[in-house]
Every structure is written in C-alpha cells, then in structure tokens.
Amino acid sequence: MDRKYNFYAGPAILPYEVMKKVQEELLDYNGIGLSVMEISHRSKDFINILEAAEEKIRSLMKIPDNYAVMFIQGGATLQFDMIPMNFLKGGKADYVNTGSWAKKAIKEAKLFGNVNIAGTSEDRNFNYIPDIALSADAAYVHVTSNETIGGIQFHTFPETGDIPLIVDMSSDIFSRKLDITKFGAIYAGAQKNMGPAGVTVVIMRNDLVDKGPEDIASMLSYRTYRENKSSFNTPPCFAIYIVKLVMEWLETQGGLEAIEARNNEKAKILYEAIDNLSLYKGAAEVKDRSKMNVTFRIYPEELEAKFLKEAGEQGMIGLKGHRSVGGCRASIYNAMPLAGVKTLVNFMEKFEKENK
Ligand SMILES: Cc1ncc(COP(=O)(O)O)c(C=O)c1O
C-alpha cells in the first residue's frame, strides 16, 4: 500500500511504526483475546496502559513530581474555558494575541473575568510574535506556543516570574526540549504530535490544581482529574493507548533532543526552498517562523490551485492553507519523515521549472 504524505494540520500523520503496532494488536491486545477498545477502563491491562502513558510523558519531558499529568476530553478548546473557570474567577489575566487560536482562548476567557492583551500581532495579520508587556497583578499569563494557522512560534517564552505561565502547546508539544519548571501549565490536544483526536494532555503544577475553586462542576475541575488518575469517568481509552505508543516511538527516536534536531533539519530544508525559489514566499516573519506549520504563498496566485492539485496527484495532501488565511501550509510534525519534506521540496523545484 502507498502511504500518502499528509501535510494536514491535524489530525496529523502518525508514525508508521505506531500504526503497524496498532494494527498488530487491534484484535488481541497483550494476549487477552480482546482489543484495547473492548476492555474496561478499570481493568489491569488498561490501568497499565494509562500509567505507562503518564510515566513516558513524564520521563520524555522530565516533568518533576510537583506537576500533575492529566488526560481530559473536550479538546484544547475546552481548556480555553477550564483555565479561566479555574483561575480567573473575576480577576485579570494576561493573554498574548498571536492569531486564530489565541483569539479563541481570549474570547472564552472574557466570559470569566478581565483579559489584558499583553501583546498582539493583529496589525500585520499575525505574521510575527509581538513584544509583551505583562501586568504585575495577573492571575496568569496565557500564550499559544505555536499558531497552527498563521505559522508562527515562540522560540523562547516570556519570563513571568511568580505569575504562572499557561501555554496552549497543541501544535508543538514534544517537538523540542523544554524546561517544564518555567510553566504553570501546558495543554495540548493529542492529534498533532501525540496521537489521535479525543484526548487532551494537561500538565499542571500541583499548587495551581489546588487553587481551583471548590464550587465548580466536577468535570471542569482539575482536582477531579488529578485525584482520580484521569478516570473519574470513562477516559478515551483507545486514544490514550495510542499516545502511549507514540511516546514509546519518541523514546526509540532518541527523545526530545533527537526529535528537535530532526525537526530543525526538516524546517530548514523547507524554508530554504521557499527562500531560494522565486515562485514561493514565506508568510511569517523569518525570526518567528514555525518549525511545525510552514506557511507560504505562491505567486502568481492563480498557480496555487494547480500546485495543490499536482501535489495531491503525487501523494502529498493537505497543503492548502487554512480557509481563514488562504495560501499554502505544510505541517511537518514529529511523525513527518525527512523523506516527506524532501519529496515536497523536489516537487516545489520541479513545479517552479515547469511554471515560470
Ligand atoms: C494551537 C491550537 N490550539 C487549540 C486547538 C483546538 O484543539 P481541539 O480541536 O483539540 O479543541 C488547535 C487545533 O488545531 C490548535 O492548533
């Protein structure tokens, strides 16, 4: 079977080795004669999977014991509500407005308290990471580490002192090494770098978890997830199982240091092609370019549809930019092999020769 190179922003490509393992174990997990999909979330086999997923997340990211790792449903989008519901409570929080996803987080936070826009790049259609001016009395600072649609990324994070830094890392979690102690909380939907859609990983310092109000609905309280090991209700078992396999795959790749080096190489090759060829132009400011979502335009614009069609015919799909911004976007998450990026670059060169 010919696997396609899927450049969609998410759900994204998963490591081939992981998909093969899922296939092998689909009908009979661990010799129990049933699929992971068919067993109780209270069974020993599933509890082992959930514990291993957490343990691997902890070891890959070097997460200290004073942080909780939780598996929650509702996507990263539910976190846009849960964060302010738990920590804003009529007070003030700093939000950095870097694009479509930050905007959505801001809209929800405004339902629960005052939002100070500590920086925005809206003046230039979110093609850069803005300077940030933090308030002294914010309950927390919220940033979107990688704007999946605009293709910009924080390459360093703001220093927030004692104020917790809370980060939506949906589209670049596990793509690079991080010092976790700089963050109050990190959250990310699984469907880019961790697994299939259906589970969101939330890593949160315990003192923040403790700060959540007592009079909040159980399913919206981080304490509920921490205290019930993410199994207060039925967790998304199959998605968590695949997250565990993706974490094992990451270990075999050499962990975050090795994956970061590979991601740097993939991004370099692709941006070099964009910069060196004349038909393409990068959409984001060079210093803030995302290493996960590479956004570019084709000039003359009439060629774009032809580019997308011919790429599709050659097995490269999902290169169309998000409907809100247009242009092209190549999402090159962890599981996109170097060969996929090289195939795209070869195609871009050939397309330029044929259409100049
Ligand atoms: C940066 C970012 N935040 C949040 C979301 C929303 O995630 P979900 O669909 O899991 O709610 C996405 C989805 O693409 C995203 O890229």
Q: Which of the 8 DSSP states describes residue 169?
A: -
Answer yes or no: is 4 within a domain.
Answer: no
**Which atom of ligand 1 is closest in space to residue 9's alpha carbon?**
14
Check if 171 has its Cβ closer than 6 Å to any atom of ligand 1: yes
Examine the domain organization and report whether 197 and 156 are in the same domain: yes
Check if 189 has its Cβ closer than 6 Å to any atom of ligand 1: yes
Answer yes or no: is 42 within a domain.
Answer: yes
Examine the domain organization and report whether 45 and 184 are in the same domain: yes
Answer yes or no: is 11 within a domain.
Answer: no
Cα–ligand 1 centroid distance for 350 (angstroms): 34
Cα–ligand 1 centroid distance for 120 (angstroms): 19
**Which atom of ligand 1 is closest in space to residue 149's alpha carbon?**
16
Examine the domain organization and report whether 267 and 182 are in the same domain: no
Cβ distance 14 to 335 under 8 Å? yes
Reported as a single tens digit per residue, the pLDDT across 33-79 is 999 999 999 999 999 999 999 999 999 999 999 999 999 999 999 99
Closest by Cα among 246, 240, 197 to 75? 197
**Domain limits at 294?**
254-355
Give the CATH number of the domain where residue 319 resides: 3.90.1150.10
Could you give the angle at the alpha carbon of 104 between the alpha carbons of 103 and 108, nearest 5°? 115
Residue with tokens 């997340």: 57
Closest by Cα among 12, 9, 38 to 99? 9
Cα–ligand 1 centroid distance for 28 (angstroms): 32
**Which atom of ligand 1 is closest in space to residue 148's alpha carbon?**
16
Examine the domain organization and report whether 275 and 229 are in the same domain: no
Examine the domain organization and report whether 246 and 258 are in the same domain: no
Cα–ligand 1 centroid distance for 263 (angstroms): 20
* Final residue in a domain of this structure, among 206, 236, 252: 252
Examine the domain organization and report whether 41 and 85 are in the same domain: yes
Cα–ligand 1 centroid distance for 162 (angstroms): 27
* Final residue in a domain of this structure, among 218, 252, 286: 252
* Final residue in a domain of this structure, among 236, 252, 268: 252
Answer yes or no: is 1 within a domain.
Answer: no
Residues of the chain with pLDDT > 70, as a percent, come to 100
Residue nearest to atom 10 of ligand 1 (CA): 75
Measured distance CA(215)–CA(350) in Å, rounded? 61
Residue 245 has pLDDT above 90, yes or no: yes
Cβ distance 173 to 188 under 8 Å? yes
Tokens matching residue 169: 């890392």
Check if 170 has its Cβ closer than 6 Å to any atom of ligand 1: yes
Cα–ligand 1 centroid distance for 115 (angstroms): 20
Examine the domain organization and report whether 171 and 75 are in the same domain: yes
Check if 148 has its Cβ closer than 6 Å to any atom of ligand 1: yes
Reported as a single tens digit per residue, the pLDDT across 281-305 is 999 999 999 999 999 999 999 999 9
Phi, psi of 246 (to 5 degrees): -65, -35
Answer yes or no: is 93 within a domain.
Answer: yes
Cβ distance 279 to 351 under 8 Å? yes
**Which atom of ligand 1 is closest in space to residue 10's alpha carbon?**
14
Cβ distance 78 to 85 under 8 Å? no
Residue 108 has pLDDT above 80, yes or no: yes
Using most ligand atoms within 8 A of CB, pick from 71, 77, 106, 202 the residue to mutate for ligand 1.
77
Check if 75 has its Cβ closer than 6 Å to any atom of ligand 1: yes
Reported as a single tens digit per residue, the pLDDT across 1-31 is 678 999 999 999 999 999 999 999 999 999 9
Answer yes or no: is 203 within a domain.
Answer: yes
Provide the pLDDT confidence category of residue 177 given band limits of 50, 70 and 90: very high
Instruction: Give me the amino acid identity at 341.
Output: V
The pLDDT assigned to 326 comes to 86
Examine the domain organization and report whether 29 and 62 are in the same domain: yes
Examine the domain organization and report whether 268 and 310 are in the same domain: yes
The burial class, CB within 10 Å (0-12 / 13-18 / 19+), for 160 is buried
Split into its structural domains, the chain has a count of: 2
Instruction: Give me the amino acid identity at 201.
Output: V
Check if 290 has its Cβ closer than 6 Å to any atom of ligand 1: no
Examine the domain organization and report whether 247 and 274 are in the same domain: no
In a 13 Å sphere around the CA of 341, the CA atoms on its Cβ side amount to 26
Closest by Cα among 336, 331, 332, 349 to 272? 349
Cα–ligand 1 centroid distance for 170 (angstroms): 6
Examine the domain organization and report whether 90 and 135 are in the same domain: yes
The structure's pTM equals: 0.97
Task: Please give the mean pLDDT across all residues of the chain.
Answer: 97
CB atoms within 10 A of CB 257: 11
DSSP string, 307-354: HHHHHHHTTEE--BPPTTT-SEEEE--TTS-HHHHHHHHHHHHHHHHH
Give the CATH number of the domain where residue 234 resides: 3.40.640.10
**Which atom of ligand 1 is closest in space to residue 77's alpha carbon?**
11
The pLDDT assigned to 271 comes to 98
The pLDDT assigned to 3 comes to 86
Measured distance CA(222)–CA(78) in Å, rounded? 12
Answer yes or no: is 218 within a domain.
Answer: yes
Using most ligand atoms within 8 A of CB, pick from 80, 170, 295, 322 the residue to mutate for ligand 1.
170
Examine the domain organization and report whether 244 and 261 are in the same domain: no
Answer yes or no: is 10 within a domain.
Answer: no
Q: What amino acid positions are annotated as catalytic residues?
A: 101, 168, 192
**Beta bridge mates, 93:** 115
